[in-house]
Structure 1
Amino acid sequence: MTPLATRSPAPSRQDTPDHIAGLSLVNLAARQRMLSQRMILQTVLAASGDAEWLRAAQRSLRMFTESQQHLQATTAQLDPASARKITETYQGPRGVGPVVQAFMQLMRSALDQIEVHSPRVSATTAELVGHTDRILEALNTATTAFDEVAKAHSDALMKELVGIVDDIQSVAKEAKVVSFNAQVMAARAGQHGREFAVVANVLSDITSEIDRLTRKAAVLAERSRGR
């Protein structure tokens, strides 16, 4: 397993398997939990000699492996704080990386033994089933970490959005003052200020629309922040 700290480029969308493309990191990490349990069940059924279940388990293992590699590679695209959190989750003193790696190795071993009808299949399968709680707990920990990273990223974006809305509102207020002053000057100029008055009125309409849109954006931002 490639260490999470290695800043290798994440796969592009074109290079990403179909079962990964479009999934958020949180959803992908959560799906690993489901895949781990599915693989264990498929392997137990395959151990009875069913070739179809063996092929299904092999497909699930490939999906699990590709997804795990993708999750690790995405640290290169995260901000430093988020990357450190995910690295710590997998490779820290109590990291889940070794548990996930051991599970994958045991799964490969079990499937290889089933394929060649090894007499060790029963023992390896029993060992694999014994890993059920450990791998599930490890993947729950990883999912929580990705969820926290996603929430922190969402909060940061929301804070930036609120700041942008505030800036736009400030500009709109200044534009309103300019528009009002222009209308006053146009009125004083009488006939000579008619064309200037048209421009001032258009500016007033524009600033009113900007004000309306920024208020709407502010409401949406506040609503999203309260979720």
Structure 2
Amino acid sequence: MAAYPLSARSSHGNLPAPTTPAPRDGEMSLVNLAARQRMLSQRMVLQTVLATRGSDLHLKAARSSLALFSESHARLVDTPRHLDVAMGERIRTTYQGSAGVGPTIDAFMQQVERTLELAERQSPRVEEALARLVEITDGALDALNTATTAFDQLGKAKSETLMKELAGIVASIQTVAREAKVVSFNAQVMAARAGQHGREFAVVANVLSGITNEIDGLSLQAVSLAGRNR
């Protein structure tokens, strides 16, 4: 690995400016949060490299990125507590199973922190720490990719479950609509038989018929929507 010579700490110079901090978690979906971790990991490595060259701005930016990365990692690892047993176990295994990615990601965060501490002290050992960080970065990216894939599969599974529930609701609505049509038809027949005395009854029957037609239309839209989201 090429050496990155230490220089006097500076907030200026020709070093590229730190990138704008990533947004906080907020309402970000789990799969997007997991994917953002990959971006943050690469950003941290670049910021850390520049911090070892004497940039206080990048040292501060790297610490900010590390804090956000650690916060997001904790949220992702805690996800199983908020899922059903089967889905929760899949995520737990991804991070903490025998081949889990948790230890790899933890080691990466610890190495970033150690390198930044040495850079801040301008320690001669910072080059060794930086070399180690670069060495483990590919493994960390692989681990983060594995985690992202797990959350992507989780999202798809939840979507499929939701679509099945929606299909069941639509089927129930269609059943009610069919029964209402039968009632409407019978009411129209009875109104016709009643002649002049059945006019008001006929109006109600026609309104009911119109409502059932609207229900049919909405049901078809729901079925179409469910199909597009499969």
TM-score computed with the length of structure 1 as normaliser = 0.89
Provide structure 2 residue ranges, at least 5 long, that are not aligned to the other structure.
Answer: 1-21
Distance 2:54 2:224 in 1: 60
Equivalent residue number for residue 79 of structure 1:
84
Equivalent residue number for residue 61 of structure 1:
66
Map Cα deviations across residues 153-212 of structure 1 (whole Å, 9 max, x no partner): 000101111111111111101100110001001111112212111111110010010011
- Over the residues paired in the alignment, what is the CA RMSD in angstroms? 1.2
Matches within 5 A, 1:185-200: 185-200=190-205
One-letter amino acid of the counterpart of residue 39, structure 2: M
Structure 1 vs Structure 2: percent identity of aligned residues?
Answer: 61
Distance 1:223 1:129 in 2: 43
1:95 is paired with a residue of what secondary structure? coil
Matches within 5 A, 1:151-166: 151-166=156-171
Q: CA deviation at 1:99?
A: 0.4
Q: Is the 8 A contact 2:188 2:205 kept in 1?
A: yes
Distance 1:20 1:60 in 2: 13
Q: Is the 8 A contact 2:51 2:58 kept in 1?
A: yes
Distance 1:66 1:96 in 2: 17
Equivalent residue number for residue 140 of structure 2:
135
Residue 180 (structure 1) aligned with residue 156 (structure 2): no
Distance 1:168 1:130 in 2: 59
Equivalent residue number for residue 221 of structure 1:
226
Equivalent residue number for residue 27 of structure 2:
22
TM-score computed with the length of structure 2 as normaliser = 0.88
Distance 1:96 1:164 in 2: 39
Specify whether residues 77 and 37 from structure 1 end up closer, same or farther in structure 2 by C-alpha distance, changes over 3 A only: same
Equivalent residue number for residue 88 of structure 1:
93
Number of aligned pairs? 209
Equivalent residue number for residue 3 of structure 1:
none
Equivalent residue number for residue 6 of structure 2:
none
Q: Find the partner of 1:208 among 213, 216, 223.
A: 213
Q: CA deviation at 1:18?
A: 5.5
1:105 is paired with a residue of what secondary structure? helix
Distance 1:57 1:43 in 2: 6
Larger Rg: 2
1:131 is paired with a residue of what secondary structure? helix
One-letter amino acid of the counterpart of residue 29, structure 1: A
Q: Find the partner of 2:152 among 132, 139, 147.
A: 147
Provide structure 1 residue ranges, at least 5 long, that are not aligned to the other structure.
Answer: 1-16
Distance 1:111 1:188 in 2: 90
Q: CA deviation at 1:56?
A: 0.9
Distance 2:52 2:217 in 1: 66
Map Cα deviations across residues 108-159 of structure 1 (whole Å, 9 max, x no partner): 1111111112221110010000011100000000000000000000001011
